[in-house]
Amino acid sequence: MSVGSNIKHDSSYGHVTGESIFVDDREATNSEVFVGIVGSPVACGKLISIDASAALKHKSCVGVYSASDFCSKKWGTIFKDQPIIVEDNIGYMGEPLCIFASTNRYDIEHIKTLFKFKIDKASPVFSISDSVAKNNIIYSSPSAFVQGDVEKVFKSATNILEGTFICGGQDHFYMESQACIAYPMENGQIEVHSSTQNPSETQRVVAEALGLSLHHVVCVVKRMGGAFGGKESQAAPIAAYAAVVAKKLKKPARLILTKDEDMIITGKRHPFENDYKVAFDNEGKINGFKIILKSDAGAYSDLSSSILERSMLHADGAYYLKNVYIQGLAYKTNNHSNTAYRGFGAPQGNMTIESVIEDIACFLKKDAFEIRRLNIYQKDNIKTPYNQNIENNMLPDIFDQLHKSSDYKNRLVEINNFNKQKNGKIKGISFTATKFGIAFTSRFLNQGSAIVNVQLDGSVQVSTGATEMGQGVNTKIQQVVSSAFGIPVNNVQIMTTSTEKNHNTSPTAASAGFDINGSAAIKACNKIKSRLCELAKLIFENTTENNKKNTFTEFEVNNKDLDLDFIFKDNLVTQTSTKKEISFKKLVFKAYNNRISIGEYSFYKTPEIGFCKNTVKGKAFNYFTQGAVVTEVLIDEYTGEMKVMKSDILMDLGRPINPDIDKGQVTGAFIQGMGWVTTERLFYDTDGNLISHSPTTYKIPNIQDIPRVFNVDFLLNKNKIKNIYGSKAVGEPPFLLGLSAWTAVKHALSYRSNGKPVNITSPVTGEVILNKLTDLKNGN
């Protein structure tokens, strides 16, 4: 059985050898043109006119296109408020004003300099605080999450802390930038090959931009070179640009953004400024918590409302809050239209309460682990602020097991002794947790489909709506299908995702890609297996001389429930009651000869899911993926340089489909989360130009930044989990554990703060650390 085994990633060899095909690896045709984007030179204003005369005189420029060439002027995943390309009002620096086609891709950068624009410049707003002052709200949560009475608690509280937690944005920095090739087909059809997490939305936006019906557009996704949420919505207008050029010129059109272009044009993780107030007793028990989450949506709404909602849903972190008030507001600014990012708002909510707990510990002169262990969800207090019970809560087990296995107690003593030496270096340690809800918060997205086709040689082709971006979703689906039929995993091929095979697909996001599409695939397998079982039973019962001589006999088979008397294993189908068996391949061939379908389409929807944000009722998540980490850091007090010395992670992933792939997801998510809170700072000038728009100016973690000692382990969880094979999603939950590097820095700095809580922003770069140390030395 391949489920639970460490099967290699289906693209591993291809990635290593360079044989994997990405969008820009597709061979160019002789007639193909290349598309360039010309961005706005201002962050706010009104576009009056475009002078493209000089560009059109260039020998390789064969067309310039603006808003008037698009049938639909605006797009949006939730609210249709963002121009596909600027028609009049400009929302942010670098926003596309027009596109052009060139016969030579190497002329694109020069042609971009030949355009002239007449623009009435206006005053931009870049910060959340300035937008708050203007009351420029783009979205407000319909209802606050309220439990108990926080105001009453505050009036009689023993201790109160309040303040504002600030965290910055983050660029997705995927290896493959936004990319698309559009092919004009016969009868006015368009075939789009896109690096997108959301084929159906890309199909829809392209169709609307061209004025076509959806059945005239096909979106194809082989794989992506990373995405992390950045290709959930924002790949769609990129595809529309290529498609418009392809339709206008009746030639294939290729649009591949450079890393600089991609970082300038596309949105980031939402920066947040969260106002909080917390009441607690002298033991550190939180009695009341109030938080107002404020996000920078950027110029347009994009996915900001859903991201804000998930941030509210994770503002409790892993901690039970008897009296709580959670509200959320998204503000419009003249920054990039911010978008989905791994964690989808949960890190910005979760990080606030982890920071607050560090402050409580510092205020009470206690160990932060004690405060966390006291406040985590226990076995008996499992109701969240949004009225959902936590089933199979493993947090106490995770905390206690990791506390012991990481030797936290002795390490804390060692750190205390080390920091007393005052030798120019300080250490910090932090134990933080994740309790990540798995499901789309929009109920209708919790659906998927699969097509499973068994071939006559017993091999299987599977098509789903899932898209592969390196996370291994194809490999996991391959494993569950091979286990279902009892055949080698190499006999199962996951086909290229295409909207003509799987329609109305949900984006591969919310860590639910495998849960939804894998479940659909299993459902299709079981329908085929039920027919094969019935056929096998008839074959085993037919003992006539003709049958023994392999003469043809036709059987009538009806669709029935899967017969549990049969086992599919080791290329054999065995009836357990009679011990009779037949090879899977032979049974498949007999099914074909008897005109019995060995292919199936299946649809799956996550059961019992549905949350109403207006009434704060219903089940927001199918289940929770939980985990914890202990991270230790070392800081040079003279330079502000920080090194992560050790991280120990313990995750509850149920019963993993592929432990090695899951381990890769845990380590990768942790490092990406760590990067967000330590090194990945976005720099802008006063006009709104992104200065850090390249690998040389934007600092993602490298090999020197990862923990010197890095341990990842999985908790043995034998509980009944309502998911495919008892597994749990892993893509986003561990990202929240990377925040422990930031809280560990905060803990280290507390040794120099004279017992006062340390107020720092995120990311806590070396510069931030050095400035804070200087402030603390000066008594500030």
What is the Cα–Cα distance from 135 to 130, expressed in whole angstroms? 9
**β pairing state of 96-102 and 179-184:** unpaired
Helix (H) / strand (E) element for 310: namely: helix 304-313
Cβ–Cβ under 8 Å, residues 324 and 145: yes
Give yes or no: 732 in active site.
yes
Using the structure block, give the residue that is written with the tokens 């490999």.
475
CB 475 within 8 A of CB 658: yes
Greatest C-alpha distance within the chain: 99
* Angle, alpha carbons 636-641-645 (nearest 5°): 80
Give, in order, the Cα–Cα distances in Å from 310 to each of 77, 190, 394.
16, 36, 21
CA 678/CA 765 separation, integer angstroms: 5
d(CA 180, CA 416): 55
Place of tokens 């890393």: 259
> How far is Cα 348 from Cα 309, in angstroms, rounded to an integer?
11
Residue with tokens 């760590």: 674
Residues 6 or more apart from 357 whose CB is under 8 A from it? Answer: 319, 368, 371, 372, 375
Q: How far apart are CA 570 and CA 563, in angstroms?
A: 18
- Determine the Cα–Cα distance for residues 289 and 317; give it in Å rounded to an integer: 12
- Helix (H) / strand (E) containing 670: helix 659-678
CB 276 within 8 A of CB 163: yes
Whole-angstrom distance, CA of residue 26 vs CA of residue 191? 14
Given the structure tokens 């991201």, which residue do they identify? 307
Task: Please state whether beta strands 581-583 and 599-605 pair in parallel, antiparallel, or not at all (unpaired).
Answer: unpaired
* DSSP H stretches of helix in 508-605: 513-541, 545-548, 584-593
How many helices, marked H, and strands, marked E, lie in the chain?
20, 32
Dihedral (Cα; 737, 742, 747, 749), 10-degree rounding = 170
Tell me the C-alpha distance between 354 and 351, whole Å. Answer: 5
Cβ-based neighbour number of residue 110 at 10 Å: 15
Residue type at 487?
I
| Catalytic one of 261, 608, 732, 767 | 732
Asked if residue 162 lies in contact with residue 276, where contact means CB atoms within 8 angstroms, the answer is yes
Please count the residues of the chain.
Answer: 780
Angle between helix axes 584-593 and 513-541 (nearest 10 degrees) is 80
Token pair belonging to 292: 């107002």
Q: Which helix (H) or strand (E) holds 348?
A: helix 346-364
Q: Please state, in angstroms and rounded to a whole number, the distance separating the CA atoms of residues 737 and 226.
A: 20
Instruction: Order the strands of the 116-121 sheet from edge to edge.
Output: 89-90, 45-51, 116-121
Token pair of 109 as six digits: 């950068």
List, in order, residues 6 or more apart from 267 with CB less than 8 Å away: 230, 234, 298, 302, 336, 337, 338, 339
Asked if 453 contacts 461 with a C-beta cutoff of 8 angstroms, the reply is yes
Q: What residue spans of 542-627 are helical by DSSP H?
A: 545-548, 584-593
**Which sign does the torsion angle of CA 230, 236, 240, 246 carry?**
positive
Catalytic residues: 732
